[in-house]
Amino acid sequence: MTGSSEPGPGALRLAVLVSGSGTNLQALLDAVDAGGAPFEVVVVGADRDGTGGAERAAARGVPTFVCRVPDFDSRADWDAALARLLAEHTPDLVVSAGFMKVLGPEVLAGVRVVNTHPALLPSFPGAHGVRDALAHGVRVTGCTCHWVDDGVDTGPIIDQRAVRVEDGDTLESLHERIKVEERRMLVEVLTHLAADRSWR
């Protein structure tokens, strides 16, 4: 990335963790490309091989790593290894962007982490927020950006966006509309956190 798309001095250094296609990551990369984003993606980590998110990062020249739980004797060993890999890139903030693993104490002790979740927390936490909201029959759901703590989707809420459930919505159609709001929210939250760093 060159010219006006290059983050300015003092840009918030982001490490982004992914497990899937990386559409939230793409939103961040696109914001940097558009110019004026007060953040930069300095590394992308994945919890498995062959993720679309890591491929998107590699195509842009962003460093990547893979840290798989099965490669370690214990979850604690995995957590310690992930903490070391992140620390090598000195991020100001870690973004859990569709990362389907619970982060442990070593990672959380080293850096602040934000996460996006496809429901209006504290309702419908966990891996199936969209499915659970649809099954419950709510008429409004949405997405949440929150600080990560040692629970599952229990950290302090930073921002939320509402998405109406339409008649005839399927899991896929509802999730796609939520993702649109989730990407917009994440860029706006990180822009705000870059401007006001009292959270550090």
Domain assignment of residue 5, yes or no: no
Structure confidence at residue 85 (pLDDT): 98
Segments forming the whole domain that contains residue 124: 11-195
Q: How far apart are CA 125 and CA 128, in angstroms?
A: 7
Structure confidence at residue 3 (pLDDT): 36
- Alpha carbons within 13 A on the beta-carbon side of 19: 12
Structure confidence at residue 10 (pLDDT): 87
pLDDT in tens, the chain (200 residues): 333 345 656 899 999 999 999 999 999 999 999 998 999 999 999 999 999 999 999 999 999 999 999 999 999 999 999 999 999 999 999 999 999 999 999 999 999 999 999 999 999 999 999 999 999 999 999 999 999 999 999 999 999 999 999 999 999 999 999 999 999 999 999 999 999 999 98
| Number of domains comprising the chain | 1
Single-letter residue type at 99: F
Displacement of CA 41 from its chain's centroid (Å): 12
β-strands 113-117, 140-147 pairing:
antiparallel
Instruction: Give the domain CATH number at 25.
Output: 3.40.50.170
Domain assignment of residue 1, yes or no: no
Domain assignment of residue 162, yes or no: yes
- 146 given a catalytic annotation: no
Element (H, E) at 25: helix 23-34
Q: How far apart are CA 125 and CA 55, in angstroms?
A: 28
Domain assignment of residue 200, yes or no: no
Structure confidence at residue 2 (pLDDT): 35
Count of other CB atoms within 10 angstroms of residue 51: 23
Domain assignment of residue 4, yes or no: no
3-state secondary structure at position 183: helix
Residue in 89, 117, 128, 136 annotated catalytic: 117
The length of the chain in residues reads 200
Domain assignment of residue 3, yes or no: no
Domain assignment of residue 144, yes or no: yes
The phi, psi pair for 115, rounded to 5°, reads: -135, 150
Residues 6+ apart with CB under 8 A from 8: 38
Domain assignment of residue 45, yes or no: yes
Q: How far apart are CA 18 and CA 114, in angstroms?
A: 13
Structure confidence at residue 34 (pLDDT): 93
